[in-house]
Structure 1
């Protein structure tokens, strides 16, 4: 994959320069630097301004970076203030004519793009700040640039140490000095210390521990505890270092114990070419974390490596869903409109009509939609559908979604079907979204108008835990947004590796949104595969089971002779280090329900896609119960709410649609039906379900079934 041409946003701080190293290490080329600085007032420029978005302390040194790195530098004044102070940001905001300071990025980046037409990406040093990241992403996407944030969630990636970023900076030879302290027990004794030195790092951690704030990015200055100025780095990125003499640094006392350095003068010192550092030596977080690396190793010895295609599809599927569509169900918090279809010559045209009917005929605000299911006849039409669909979502945090292709299982002349969960106005105003559009080591960036997850607000009336709707996850390698190569693995081993990677994506999204339990999961598999379906089904179900059994524990830092060469190359070492930044794992008392659905195709021709809904704020015991009820197998997820045990969700598998009338499901529960057979019209009219036509289905034991009905409280 060809590398990107990158403009690097720099503030002078440690993170923006370390992100440049990671851009180069990932095969991209940084061709220009860009910086925003305080405006001139009455002929003078303030040394530091109170900005929510930009570091401005030490800005007088910024011009030297052009020669220090040998890259052209472009600068722009910061205009406006923090008008929009929401965590997420999507578009320009104006209050009484005032411009948001975020929009100062627009003319700056346009200036760079005019001088460097080849630029197609922008990098930033965002680590844990949604506020900064979402604003850079908003501007970048509007200008057609790919946002890169390789430091995103860095402390929560292997080796799970809050100071791992500082350790890696020290190992690479980056020298950034503390030039401002503002809180966390830091005094002016920290000023001009190398933030990545062992002595300074130890002092920072001790100071944060005394205030009880270690583990949330404080040791990295993520809460504004301190600011830094980079003066040195490894060759070949740094051609000159920056030297500031003792007499050119003046301590300026601030309010409430804050202190900073005013830089009166600085000069460049040429660096000698050196081979001490190479981009290949820069440590990158491993693709699989400890839990999933251990899972992958266990899975490797249990996958069915048999060949052949005796269990593959032998006949074309018939249409399985009703052409009428547009079923509707209303709960206390939302309205579910399912199976929306429209006439039209193409999928794009049909989606345009569907979205118009939703917004105009049904008076639905796109910002109130929390989750969507998009069914396509062919995945080749996804681009046109995405364009028609995405044009309606202009506010932050668009819906999470699952997209699959159903082929001829859709009715004749139907190219696309849409189902939506629409929150009532009072609920929609309180929903929260996770919408990461930057490439990173954490999980795949969103490509298109969808969020990784939408979290519902708590319901004080029912005391039911909050639902977290998570988008379907496919096995993209997060830094490159490409599928991992097969390498030395057999096709079955490659499928297992991809099932593991995509499930880790689901897990990381759940952890960052504070999910405590999954309601269950469906593993979609594509009908086009060289691996027998029986093998893929068994692998998917075992992956889900192992994920709930494999704990995050300390592991011996030794390589097993059984570790595959491809594992080392693609996923790195499986050694583990457990520290305070490891997030709480998601472990139910028993394994939540899971089943497998075979469909025509998945986004980008993926071989597997995991979809699930999580819950957060669950304080009671959670357990899965399985029962055999005559014609069906039922699994429920039961939660202790006060003194009562409540069924939060469940699924029922039956061998024939003729048995659906015998299946009892509370009328207040929301249903989604995965089916390989035409559903009885009377049953559909009564239940108003979302219908997902599938080629084949398997229950949690790997037994082929005709229908799986999933249901949950909403």
Structure 2
């Protein structure tokens, strides 16, 4: 990509440019924001480093790249973490600056910044990039600061300290000192006081005088003054004011100073208002389309009122068949209507499962999706998401099928990093890496993407799995937890293109990764996760594997895994002719965590069907028996652990399309099983007047082992006690 680099003069923005080049991008322009008054060294800015701005004009000459500069008109008016467009805010100065760069150099598609740890700065750069249709590149994001400092010095960053403001740093002693000279001292301050060695806590700022990007010349600082801002006895604050400097041409020993190349420097003016931006208005044609296809709409909703799921799909028919765009618009409009009916909106949605019939139309699905789910509609953060191709048409469904997990409060905490970095794959679109709500962390589906290049690992399914798990671990660490110790459930989607030989190894490799992670972290309190493998036709980017993790991240509370808890004597479970038997556990995984969460994965194979009922009976009767057995075991699991069906947030029944059974038929079979359960008064009654509490999900296969995915049904239940 062609990149405009935000430069402050500091080491971070320069090293970020070097990383851009390392990953194959091209720096075609520089952008800098500076004070209105040249004599002012530092502004009271939450966003910009301005100390040493007098020298930045020379970067154009040193790199032979145009430099666009704008004087900061605004101030820090919008100080909440997530930024919204605010008149006269200093962030709008960046918008005007980058708008002009894009106007003059239309080929630019990305913006580089040196953000390492500041969410405040990263989110504002991402906001501007989103408004301008640019990609944010932040290759230093979340990197280990000690290693980063060592890399900068080893890779030729020649920088000096131009501001100090921390215990152990003295303006009279340390301003003007070379970064390499200061490295051991900065590392010592980290050990003594916990300082950030890269200055991310405001401990110090730097000015780069030379680096490998400066191919034409280096900057030589001839004279400077030390200006003491605060004579504090513990942490005095001081800045370096450059008095005179010159450029020294490279490749000619003893060369004289160069004339400043004014032709490469552009001053950007403007009032900061963006009159071209507008909020998306929903097309009235979508509403008409919903009315036209309402007879094809089907809904499923769980009974739970605090955290519940809504699922919507279309019955497919040759007479009324439409395309993906129309089907997805219809489904999302209906879900939006259901949310409004409960006085909710998209901001209340925690997670979205987006199922489509053809992954070749993924771009079209995204284009339609962003008409409904936007950052403007979700001020508390956009929901996390997984996108999977399912055999929808083969199951008699439409081209799109959507499930949303909804909360009736606004307490969710969202991680949404849109910048491309070395940390984890970016989420450039309106979906987040993870959403935390009531101690449950719902992680977006993770592919085996190399974060800085956003390319899939091309060594096969095992390599993709390892990278997907590495990405998941990086996201989990942002919530102070680990997938190796905090995971409750892993859902692993396997593409039909995965070789059987690799599929057989996936689970073993998965467990090995988790074991290594546990030993490296040396954690004592470890949950025992469950696994669900789902075979699907295709995945985004033609990936072979996608991992969706659900974690328990209760803070400052001892977590008890109550999987051994059993109250089987509390009730009579002899209904439908079933009695509790030890072999039932062979098809059922269950976890109860801290008395709050109950998760169960139940697989019914053809072999188990024979064990249950023999070969007798018509296919319809066998399916009815299988559905009853599923309901029996799930009800028993909930009741034994003091949960009810009203605690259920989601129940997915994955069924293989090879059965040749329609969704309508299966829905009737399972609905009848639940009604019979009610009539027998076992467990807690389910209100049969409401929609079914289960979602039927057509797949190619599913099970708790990657090597065996030929089950008839695989039920995935999640219950959360309020």
Q: In the alignment, what sits opposite 2:48?
A: 54
2:522 and 2:304 map into 1 onto residues whose CA distance is 31
**Could you tell me which of 495, 509, 530 is aligned with 1:526?**
495
Q: In the alignment, what sits opposite 1:692?
A: 697
SS in 2 for 1:683: helix
**Could you tell me which of 140, 148, 163 is aligned with 2:137?**
148
Q: In the alignment, what sits opposite 1:674?
A: 654
Greater relative contact order, per chain length (Cα 8 Å cut-off, separation 6+):
1
Q: 1:391 Cα deviation (Å)?
A: 2.2
Q: In the alignment, what sits opposite 2:62?
A: 68
1:84 and 1:341 map into 2 onto residues whose CA distance is 43
TM-superposition CA deviations, 1:419-475 (whole Å, max 9, x none): 101221xx32x322111111111221114221101111x4xxxxxxx1111000111
- Asked whether the equivalents of residues 515 and 586 of structure 1 are also in contact (C-alpha less than 8 Å), the reply is no
Q: 1:357 Cα deviation (Å)?
A: 2.5
TM-superposition CA deviations, 1:565-601 (whole Å, max 9, x none): xxxxxxxxxxxxxxxxxxx578864641112110111
SS in 2 for 1:326: strand
TM-superposition CA deviations, 1:608-657 (whole Å, max 9, x none): 10011112125334548599553862222333x4xxx5654232222264
1:475 and 1:442 map into 2 onto residues whose CA distance is 13
1:548 and 1:588 map into 2 onto residues whose CA distance is 14
2:591 and 2:20 map into 1 onto residues whose CA distance is 44
Q: In the alignment, what sits opposite 1:567?
A: none
- Tell me which protein shows more helix as a share of its residues: 2
Q: What does residue range 200-215 of structure 1 map to in structure 2 within 5 Å?
A: 200-211=182-193, 213-214=194-195
Q: What does residue range 415-426 of structure 1 map to in structure 2 within 5 Å?
A: 415-424=399-408
Q: In the alignment, what sits opposite 1:613?
A: 550
Aligned CA RMSD, in angstroms, stands at 2.7
Q: In the alignment, what sits opposite 1:455?
A: 436
Q: What does residue range 195-594 of structure 1 map to in structure 2 within 5 Å?
A: 195=179, 197=180, 199-211=181-193, 213-214=194-195, 218-234=196-212, 237-245=214-222, 247-254=223-230, 256=232, 257-272=236-251, 325-331=298-304, 333-341=306-314, 345-363=322-340, 364-392=344-372, 393-395=374-376, 397-408=381-392, 411-412=395-396, 414-424=398-408, 427-428=409-410, 430-456=411-437, 458=438, 466-486=439-459, 494-516=460-482, 517-529=486-498, 531-532=499-500, 535-551=501-517, 589=526, 591-594=528-531
- Between 588-597 and 414-423, the greater mean CA deviation after superposition: 588-597
Q: TM-score, normalised by structure 1?
A: 0.77
Q: In the alignment, what sits opposite 1:126?
A: 115
| Change over 3 Å in CA distance of 1:354–1:345 after alignment to 2 | same
In the alignment of these two chains, the number of paired residues is: 588
2:497 and 2:518 map into 1 onto residues whose CA distance is 35
- Asked whether the equivalents of residues 505 and 706 of structure 2 are also in contact (C-alpha less than 8 Å), the reply is no
1:585 and 1:378 map into 2 onto residues whose CA distance is 43
- Asked whether the equivalents of residues 16 and 138 of structure 2 are also in contact (C-alpha less than 8 Å), the reply is yes
| Change over 3 Å in CA distance of 1:385–1:378 after alignment to 2 | same
- Asked whether the equivalents of residues 32 and 71 of structure 1 are also in contact (C-alpha less than 8 Å), the reply is yes
- Asked whether the equivalents of residues 660 and 683 of structure 1 are also in contact (C-alpha less than 8 Å), the reply is no
Q: In the alignment, what sits opposite 2:82?
A: 88
Structure 2 residues without counterparts, runs of 5 or longer: 254-294, 565-580, 610-625, 639-644, 675-691
- Asked whether the equivalents of residues 126 and 133 of structure 1 are also in contact (C-alpha less than 8 Å), the reply is yes
Q: In the alignment, what sits opposite 1:16?
A: 13
SS in 2 for 1:75: strand
2:60 and 2:386 map into 1 onto residues whose CA distance is 45
Structure 1 residues without counterparts, runs of 5 or longer: 156-161, 275-321, 459-465, 487-493, 555-583
Q: In the alignment, what sits opposite 1:192?
A: 176
| Change over 3 Å in CA distance of 1:104–1:511 after alignment to 2 | same
- Asked whether the equivalents of residues 81 and 101 of structure 1 are also in contact (C-alpha less than 8 Å), the reply is yes
2:702 and 2:111 map into 1 onto residues whose CA distance is 43
- Asked whether the equivalents of residues 7 and 113 of structure 2 are also in contact (C-alpha less than 8 Å), the reply is yes
| Change over 3 Å in CA distance of 1:522–1:19 after alignment to 2 | same
Q: In the alignment, what sits opposite 1:706?
A: 712
**Could you tell me which of 139, 142, 150 is aligned with 1:167?**
150
2:390 and 2:522 map into 1 onto residues whose CA distance is 34
2:102 and 2:596 map into 1 onto residues whose CA distance is 57
SS in 2 for 1:186: coil
| Change over 3 Å in CA distance of 1:273–1:76 after alignment to 2 | same
Q: In the alignment, what sits opposite 1:298?
A: none
1:650 and 1:347 map into 2 onto residues whose CA distance is 33
2:419 and 2:488 map into 1 onto residues whose CA distance is 28
Say whether residues 1:112 and 2:90 are aligned partners.
no
Q: 1:21 Cα deviation (Å)?
A: 0.7
| Change over 3 Å in CA distance of 1:419–1:519 after alignment to 2 | same
- Asked whether the equivalents of residues 341 and 418 of structure 1 are also in contact (C-alpha less than 8 Å), the reply is no
| Change over 3 Å in CA distance of 1:134–1:108 after alignment to 2 | same
1:324 and 1:434 map into 2 onto residues whose CA distance is 33
SS in 1 for 2:42: coil
- Asked whether the equivalents of residues 82 and 100 of structure 1 are also in contact (C-alpha less than 8 Å), the reply is yes
1:45 and 1:390 map into 2 onto residues whose CA distance is 46
Q: 1:539 Cα deviation (Å)?
A: 2.1
- Between 376-385 and 645-654, the greater mean CA deviation after superposition: 645-654
- Asked whether the equivalents of residues 31 and 68 of structure 2 are also in contact (C-alpha less than 8 Å), the reply is yes
